């Protein structure tokens, strides 16, 4: 006689499915806990991954030419140090200049409180009624008492808070930057292992389509770096030379700011228009016009001819989607969105083309 099956017995196949489901829930829960633990460092990890993807082809060529082993630490350290210097040198130059300007501004504030603020000669060249402007300046700024009251009313209760906020922000960003460099070093050192693991995991999870999406994202990062960063640096160098010839104060600082602003499409005019205003305030109207016209010409060529070829050619994206990815990414993710936005758009367009039947999915 066959014994009856207990009412709560589980079939071996059902037990295996239950274990797989429980393991999936456990893995997903651990993944969420890991994200929560590292959420303050996710931006540093993302920046390190972007730098590693962008520089990996160059790193492989240099390693093959030098005959370095994959477990070597000197070459990853050299590449990581080079990335650090690319950021530290310009930021240090700007910081030194700002420190000097801050010292000069403090001296100016003390002199203004003691003797008032003299009316600059450039105001007489503006197309406004000079008599009314001169009268207002004498009553509100030229008198030492009025100038002291204005400065105290403007800065009272805020100087300490602003300084504290700036210090905390600098300390936090310095920590994230150091963590980015540390992660980047290990990505260079273990890049072959990490890429092989990601390829196997993507193939196991998504099949051949996962590798195609990954390759599209990598191509998008390469094209975005070439089209945004390198072109932005080129714009900053060209306009920095023009600033120097035009007599803009601190042309190196303005050139560095132009390079940073030029990474974001249509943002460079803010910097070179500010440089033109400085020249106009000094009475150099001709050079101010030359700076504006030159800046418009350089940014027009870069944004409408050079960048579409570099980014669109690498990602196989129309420039409209590239532009929307960049601007939407910056709006959503900040500076990190400069690279995440086009990568997301490139992956979505690839999936759409495969789904629409342009290529076999």
> What pLDDT, on the 0 to 100 scale, is given for residue 8?
47
> What's the confidence (pLDDT) of residue 185?
92
Give one word for 53, left, alpha or beta, with left for phi > 0 and alpha for psi -120 to 50. Answer: alpha
pLDDT recorded at residue 361: 47
For the stretch 189-214, pLDDT in tens is: 888 888 888 888 877 777 777 777 77
* Exposure string for 313-336, b = 16+ CB within 10 A, e = fewer: ebbebeeebbbebbbbbbeebeeb
- Mean pLDDT over each residue of the chain, to the nearest integer: 77
pLDDT of residue 297: 92
Mean pLDDT of 235-250: 88
Give the pLDDT of residue 99.
Answer: 66
pLDDT digits (tens, 9 = 90+) for 310-326: 776 666 677 778 778 88
> So what's the pLDDT on residue 347?
82
Give dist(CA 163, CA 175) in Å, integer: 18
Task: Please tell me the predicted confidence (pLDDT) of residue 1.
Answer: 47
| pLDDT of 277 over the 80 cut | yes
Q: Say whether 28 sits in a helix, a strand or coil.
A: helix
**In the chain, pLDDT over 90 holds for what percent of residues?**
5
Q: What is the pLDDT of residues 105-158, one digit of tens each?
A: 666 666 666 666 666 665 555 555 566 666 666 666 666 666 566 655 565 545
Which pLDDT score, from 0 to 100, does residue 147 have? 58
Q: Could you state, in order of their start, the residue ranges of all structural domains in the chain?
A: 39-206, 207-361
Q: Answer left, alpha or beta for residue 340, where phi above 0 means left and psi between -120 and 50 means alpha.
A: alpha
pLDDT over 60 (residue 263):
yes
Q: How far apart are CA 346 and CA 191, in angstroms?
A: 23
- Of 196, 231, 208, 204, the C-alpha closest to 314 is 231
With pLDDT > 70 as the criterion, what percentage of the chain qualifies? 70
Least confident of 83-92, 165-174, 331-340: 165-174
Measured in whole angstroms, the distance separating CA 295 from the mean position of its chain's CA atoms is 21
Q: What is the pLDDT of residue 182?
A: 92
3-state secondary structure of 358: coil
């Amino acid at each position: 006689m066959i014994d009856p099956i207990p009412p709560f017995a589980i079939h071996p196949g059902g037990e295996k499915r239950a274990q797989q489901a429980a393991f999936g829930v456990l893995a997903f829960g651990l993944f969420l806990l890991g994200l929560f633990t590292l959420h303050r460092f996710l931006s540093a990890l993302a920046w390190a991954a972007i730098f590693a993807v962008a520089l990996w082809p160059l790193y492989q060529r240099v390693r093959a030419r030098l005959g370095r082993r994959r477990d070597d630490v000197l070459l990853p350290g050299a590449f990581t140090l080079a990335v650090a210097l690319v950021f530290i040198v310009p930021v240090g130059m700007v910081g030194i200049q700002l420190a000097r300007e801050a010292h000069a501004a403090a001296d100016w504030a003390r002199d203004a409180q003691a003797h008032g603020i003299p009316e600059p000669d450039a105001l007489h060249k503006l197309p406004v009624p000079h008599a009314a402007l001169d009268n207002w300046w004498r009553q509100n700024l030229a008198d030492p008492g009025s100038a002291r009251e204005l400065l105290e009313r403007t800065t009272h209760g805020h100087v300490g808070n602003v300084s504290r906020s700036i210090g905390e922000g600098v300390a936090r960003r310095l920590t994230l930057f150091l963590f980015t460099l540390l992660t980047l070093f290990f990505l260079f050192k273990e890049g072959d292992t990490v890429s092989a693991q990601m390829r196997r995991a993507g193939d196991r999870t998504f099949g051949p389509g996962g590798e195609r999406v990954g390759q599209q994202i990598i191509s998008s990062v390469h094209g975005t770096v070439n089209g945004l960063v390198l072109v932005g640096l080129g714009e900053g160098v060209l306009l920095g030379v023009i600033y120097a010839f035009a007599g803009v104060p601190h042309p190196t600082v303005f050139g560095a700011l132009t390079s940073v602003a030029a990474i974001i499409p249509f943002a460079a005019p803010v910097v070179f228009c500010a440089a033109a205003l400085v020249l106009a305030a000094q009475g150099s109207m001709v050079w101010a016009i030359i700076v504006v016209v030159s800046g418009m010409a350089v940014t027009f060529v870069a944004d409408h001819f050079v960048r579409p070829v570099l980014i669109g050619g690498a990602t196989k994206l129309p420039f409209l989607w590239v532009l929307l990815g960049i601007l939407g990414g910056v709006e959503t993710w900040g500076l990190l969105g400069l690279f995440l936005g086009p990568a997301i758009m490139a992956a979505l367009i690839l999936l759409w083309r495969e789904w629409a039947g342009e290529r076999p999915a």
